[in-house]
Amino acid sequence: MIGAQLRQELAAIVGAEHLLGPERSYEHDASLSRGVRATPDAVVRPGTTEQVAQVVRACSRHGVPVVPRGGGTGFAGGAVATSGGVVLALERMTGVRSFDPLLWRMEAEAGLTTRDVQRLARENGLLFPPDPGAAEESQIGGNVATNAGGPHALKYGPTGAWVTGVEAVLASGEVVRFGGPYRKDVSGYDLRGLMVGSEGTLGVITAVRLRFVPRPEAALPVVALYPGAAEGAAAVQRVLGSGIVAAALDYLDAATVAAAGAAMPVHSAHGFALLAELDGSAEEVQRQRAALLAALEPHANSIHFPEPAELWRWREGVSGAVAAQRGGKLSEDVVVPVEHLAEAVDGVVEIGRRHGLPACSWGHAGDGNLHATFMIDPDDLAEVARAEEAAGEVFAMTDRLGGSVSGEHGIGVLKREHVGRRWSEHEHALQAAVKHAFDPQNIMNPQKKLRA
């Protein structure tokens, strides 16, 4: 519990109406089904960077943890106050500080939603390519703090590739600005890059400078269906080797297609599906079409050409459709070198079989990123425990294949025992030294991101 003195100080900084007590909606994020829930001592909703700085300074003086919170859509429990303390919610900081469409750039406050960034770009003939799945609720600050990805990260990279500058409040309460409204910067170490993906453990991101590109004129999605993972993964390697830069190259294994494929905008969906998309000028897309089809066609059972908007809208619902099969699911977003995709996809199903759990995976095939999933009855505690064991085996398989335990959802509190499984002690120590340099008191989202 925080003391009355700190409570008074926080109310004086943000106004009593923006200091909330233990609020249910701030007790969890999208990892609730994994049992991550904690009541914060208080929730503050600052409206300016200066208020954020004062809140952090006050918490630092009292030695109280600060847990930055964006839209609360994270899958790793990162925005949950599992060590107590104050949840610092950025939801009031939604301003656009500057927008220069002709120079392809914007400075936005951290609380602006992902969808609003995408919309503003689109309305001005531009593209903000990061496309994580919860764009209506997630915030740009949360996307930067998790380095969120999505289907189009294959061509365009994850969120961090679109961030040229970060304004943040450090644990000391100091306001820092790393990078700026320029596209290249090699002076000093890349502290901007360190903030990207730092999951609230190095500071509170209060604003970000983003870059855009002109919106591609045309997009051509293609769905190819294969008998199994081996044939589909071979097609992924042919696409990568063909010299075409596909904008997206996602997959759904046969069990995912069985669970979610009924509404897929193609005639009839069975087997392993690849979702490839080309984008660019209309002429460029047409030119690349033949090469893409030549790479996809060998061993394909069928090829389809859905409408782009329809396909990606359906794709956003895949996770929910899989969860609906048995009422719940346990998913881990591991990543492996792309040449091991088929082995990993089949490995997940085999691990599920050994644990008596229906299993499936889908994800970003070109990036080697799998959402390895066990479908569970969430009320059956023995089953939930078996799924946790199965997830442990997925991590072990990922190690064996030379991959990593998280490709995009982050480590948070859920995966900290598994982070850096292949790092040396020295590599772990370097990571801890970075944390210590930014946050010697360990008040910034403690017990998250790094190994205990």
In the complex, least distance from residue 268 CB atom to ligand FAD, rounded to whole angstroms: 26
CA atoms of 197 and 449, how far apart (whole Å): 10
CA atoms of 24 and 7, how far apart (whole Å): 19
Beta carbons within 8 Å of 170's beta carbon, 6+ residues apart: 56, 176, 202, 203, 438, 439, 444
CA atoms of 142 and 72, how far apart (whole Å): 8
Q: Which is nearer to ligand FAD, 34 or 69 (CB)?
A: 69
Q: Which is nearer to ligand FAD, 133 or 160 (CB)?
A: 133
Contact predicate 148/158, CB 8 Å: yes
In the complex, least distance from residue 102 CB atom to ligand FAD, rounded to whole angstroms: 28
CA atoms of 56 and 34, how far apart (whole Å): 29
Task: For residue 316, give both structure tokens.
Answer: 């956003």
CA atoms of 111 and 207, how far apart (whole Å): 8
Residue with tokens 């759990």: 357
In the complex, least distance from residue 72 CB atom to ligand FAD, rounded to whole angstroms: 5
| Chain positions contacting ligand FAD, by CB under 6 A | 29-30, 67-75, 78-79, 90, 110, 132-134, 138-139, 141-143, 145-146, 148-150, 199-200, 204-205, 319, 408-409, 412, 445
Cα dist from 80 to 157, 311, 423, whole Å = 27, 33, 27
The residue with its CB nearest to ligand FAD is 142
Strand partners, 89: 69
Q: Which is nearer to ligand FAD, 231 or 408 (CB)?
A: 408
Q: Single out the residue of 258, 283, 287, 280 nearest to residue 271, CA to CA.
A: 258
Q: Which is nearer to ligand FAD, 138 or 288 (CB)?
A: 138
Question: b/e per residue, 94-133, with b = 16+ CB within 10 A?
Answer: beeeebeeeebbbbbbbbbbbebbbebbeebebbbbbbbb
Q: Which is nearer to ligand FAD, 54 or 288 (CB)?
A: 54
In the complex, least distance from residue 411 CB atom to ligand FAD, rounded to whole angstroms: 9
Q: Which is nearer to ligand FAD, 90 or 254 (CB)?
A: 90
In the complex, least distance from residue 335 CB atom to ligand FAD, rounded to whole angstroms: 11
> What sign does the CA torsion over 182, 196, 86, 69 have?
positive
In the complex, least distance from residue 86 CB atom to ligand FAD, rounded to whole angstroms: 12
Q: How buried is residue 33: exposed, middle or buried, by Cβ count under 10 Å (0-12/13-18/19+)?
A: middle
> What sign does the CA torsion over 199, 202, 203, 208 have?
negative
Q: Which is nearer to ligand FAD, 319 or 404 (CB)?
A: 319
3-class DSSP assignment, residue 430: helix
In the complex, least distance from residue 445 CB atom to ligand FAD, rounded to whole angstroms: 5
Cα dist from 400 to 335, 336, 394, 407, whole Å = 12, 9, 10, 16
CA atoms of 218 and 325, how far apart (whole Å): 35
CA atoms of 355 and 359, how far apart (whole Å): 10
In the complex, least distance from residue 125 CB atom to ligand FAD, rounded to whole angstroms: 25
Q: Which is nearer to ligand FAD, 120 or 204 (CB)?
A: 204
In the complex, least distance from residue 79 CB atom to ligand FAD, rounded to whole angstroms: 4
In the complex, least distance from residue 67 CB atom to ligand FAD, rounded to whole angstroms: 6
Q: Single out the residue of 23, 40, 86 nearest to residue 59, CA to CA.
A: 86
In the complex, least distance from residue 387 CB atom to ligand FAD, rounded to whole angstroms: 18
Task: For residue 447, give both structure tokens.
Answer: 């017990």
Q: Which is nearer to ligand FAD, 316 or 393 (CB)?
A: 316
Q: Which is nearer to ligand FAD, 30 or 330 (CB)?
A: 30
Read off φ and ψ for residue 139, nearest 5 degrees.
-110, 155
Q: Which is nearer to ligand FAD, 140 or 222 (CB)?
A: 140
Q: Single out the residue of 347, 222, 357 nearest to residue 277, CA to CA.
A: 222
